[in-house]
Structure 1
Amino acid sequence: MTVRLAESPSRPPARRRPDPPRTGPFRRRSGRDRPNVLAGMGVALWLVIVALPLYALLIATVQRAENYTSSGPFTPPTDPTLGNYGKAIENGLLGFVLNTAIVTAAVVAIVVALASMTGFAIVRSRTRWTTGVFRVFLLGLAIPSQAVIVPVYLIIVQLGLYDTLTAIVLPTAAFALPVCVLILVGSMRDISEELYEAMALDGAGSVRTFLQLVVPMSRSGLSTIAVYAALQAWNGFLFPLILTQSPDKRLITMGLFEFQGQYRIDIPGLLAAVVLSTVPLFLVYLFARRSLVQGMMGVGGK
């Protein structure tokens, strides 16, 4: 006679409680918690490379011209002075800044208006004509301004715009448009198709869709092209050099020649003018940096 023992119901194995995290000097570090020494050294080296020229620039602006060459660019000044900034203003820096600001504002307005409308037409039309226009704009990326400066000069002279601020505005905006159109086309393509359909069901036309949907959704891209166009206009040198000659039409890049004499260059005064000329662009970047980063990444930071 075989006696079968009643099988006891199987019980799941007891779970082992995890060990409490170690604290103090005996805490076990994971791979992610370990410091990356090589990355830290690379960042420190990059900071040194960037900081040294800035230090030399700022130190030079408070040195006296007669002591700059003897003391060296990295030596702290023994007799600092702010006279170089006053000298820069006396040499007409404010007038150069005003001319540059006018040119920059005009270039930004033209580029933002034309690039936004062109990008909207390319994204929404999708015809052979708009595709051809987009390819023409992309072709403009491969044409440097130095290669066509002679034809541009002849066109400006024929139009009677030579030695005017308009002569600088038009070619600067034209050469900034290809990059700006490319940025906006990529930004506008990220707008959902459902939003366009919702605007169409609401009875919105192309103009209303552009103003109420595309422009608000493309604010990051618009900020990006505005900053890019402003940089191109503010730092432009070739067009002011070739297309203007009067002292009252000079921009900042040309006005810096006022610190160059026949036999010497006032380096501290020149660098002080450079520092003052970068303040407006620094303020623009300070307030638009978030939109600029989002515009470079895509709509909404995608």
Structure 2
Amino acid sequence: MAIPTQATSPRASSEQPRTYAKRRPNVPAGLLSTVWLLIVMVPIYWVVITSFKSSAGYYRSNPMAPPVDPTLENYRLVIESDFALYFVNSVVISVGAVVPAVLMSFMCAFAIVRGGTGRYLRGVNAMFLMGLAIPLQATIIPVYLIIIQLGLYDTLRGLILPSMAFALPLTILILSNFIRDVPNELFESMRLDGATEWGTMWRLAFPLTKPALVTVTIYQALVVWNSFLLPLVLTQSPDKRVLPLALWSFQGQYSVNIPAVLASVILTTLPILVLYVIGRRQLLSGLTAGFTK
């Protein structure tokens, strides 16, 4: 007796395991990535090893060779050269400029997005966007004259106010785009629950835009921390210097103490590195937000 064969249904055939072709390694991309890694790491390696060399030993040895007799003399010299004072000045200026600028930018962005389509709000938004096209170098003379007229020359407040002003345009632009991504139904539901615009801003928009807030905070803190032109023009006294200007302390009339300068660079970079480590998750989520929508 013949056994009838069962016909293979389309569904059964579709459930069979699929075989995928083995992926070939992307050799050119791997080589380019390795080259780029070397380009980035070689300067960092040179800065680190040079900071542990003596000033005389730096000129006698191969610049890329590790130090034969590592020393912490350069770091001791930097710390004893009023590094703590310059560090405190940089912290005061960075915190005093970035925190108010981010809060003001968040409130301005919320008003621009949730305030309707009035001509006044469109004009305010356009004014802030125009600020992105004006570089700091083009306004340094007017800023210098304004600070003198206000009696804030050679003070930390005279550095905080311009730093806040130049941080507003980009911060408002980024936060506005994040607030626009918040579903309108959430705002309507809070309004039906009796929440005011002020309560909606702080209870709904503020928590949902936290990745963007952390992103712009770290970015603006980095910009203010590394600022050189404003402190150079708006300050004069040695006790008002910030860390970028402190590098001048290791430049003589005829020579430069390169190991001490690089030790100062490392100590100046550490706070920003710590800030990145603390907020790296929020920073990455803020930078990649929108790609998965």
Which band: TM-score by shorter chain? over 0.9
**Matched residue, 1:12:** 7
Distance 1:194 1:184 in 2: 19
TM-score normalised per structure 2:
0.93
Query: What is the CA distance between 1:29 and its match in structure 2?
Result: 7.3
Contact 2:50 / 2:63 at 8 angstroms: preserved in 1? yes
**Matched residue, 1:295:** 286
**Matched residue, 1:117:** 107
Query: Given the alignment, which residue of 246, 250, 268 partners 1:255?
Result: 246
Query: What is the CA distance between 1:10 and its match in structure 2?
Result: 9.5
Query: What is the CA distance between 1:297 and its match in structure 2?
Result: 2.6
Query: Given the alignment, which residue of 48, 55, 72 partners 2:38?
Result: 48
- Aligned residue pairs total 288
Give the aligned residue type for 2:134. Answer: I
**Alpha carbons of structure 1 residues 17 and 237: separation in structure 2 relative to 1, 3 Å:** closer
Say whether 1:170 aligns with 2:168.
no
Distance 2:55 2:219 in 1: 35
Q: Which runs of 4+ in 1 moved over 3 A?
A: 13-21, 299-302
State which structure, 1 or 2, has the greater radius of gyration over its C-alpha atoms. Answer: 1
**Matched residue, 1:276:** 267
Contact 1:99 / 1:250 at 8 angstroms: preserved in 2? yes
Say whether 1:138 aligns with 2:129.
yes
Q: Which whole-Å deviations, capped at 9, do the CAs of 1:206-249 have from their partners, x for residues lacking one?
A: 11001100111110111111111101110000100000000100
Give the aligned residue type for 2:102. Answer: V
**Alpha carbons of structure 1 residues 301 and 253: separation in structure 2 relative to 1, 3 Å:** farther
**Matched residue, 1:156:** 147
Quote the RMSD (CA, aligned, Å). 2.3
Distance 2:114 2:5 in 1: 66
**Matched residue, 2:57:** 67
Query: What is the CA distance between 1:19 and its match in structure 2?
Result: 9.4
Contact 2:109 / 2:176 at 8 angstroms: preserved in 1? yes
What's the % identity of the aligned pairs? 44
Contact 1:223 / 1:291 at 8 angstroms: preserved in 2? yes
Q: Which whole-Å deviations, capped at 9, do the CAs of 1:12-60 have from their partners, x for residues lacking one?
A: 2486799999xxxxxx9725x2211111111111110011000000010
**Alpha carbons of structure 1 residues 19 and 62: separation in structure 2 relative to 1, 3 Å:** same
Distance 1:17 1:298 in 2: 36
SS at match of 2:31: helix
Give the aligned residue type for 2:165. Answer: A
Distance 1:186 1:261 in 2: 49
Distance 1:193 1:101 in 2: 39
Distance 2:17 2:284 in 1: 42
